[in-house]
Amino acid sequence: MARYEILIKTSAAKDIEDIPNRKDRRRIAERIRSLGGDPRSPGSQKLSGQDRYRVRQGVYRIVYSIHDESLVVQVVKGGHGKDVYQ
């Protein structure tokens, strides 16, 4: 399987940097890196009514879109589950 390039929107990077716990930020970064190998891994779910997916990392969520034709995963939002879908 081909490796996907990972792009992170500036706003998503800021959301992730604002997470207070350093260990949580590190786990989220690892989870984002793993999307490059398999963006539709077990545990990822397609969001209804959108061309986006989400994956959980503890209480945090990472929302991303997959562009198969150009092998790109674009992270559009990251943060606590109660805030990320707003």
DSSP one-letter string for 3-31 = PPEEEE-HHHHHHHHT-S-HHHHHHHHHH
Q: What is the residue whose two structure tokens read 């398999």?
A: 38
> pLDDT tens for residues 42-74?
999 999 989 999 999 999 999 999 999 999 999
Structural domains in the chain?
A: 5-80 (3.30.2310.20)
CA neighbor of 47 nearest in space, from 61, 57, 58, 27: 61
Percent of the chain with pLDDT over 90: 83
Contact call for residues 64 and 79 (beta carbons, < 8 A): no
Among 75, 18, 21, which residue's Cα sits nearest to residue 44? 75
Whole-structure pTM value:
0.91
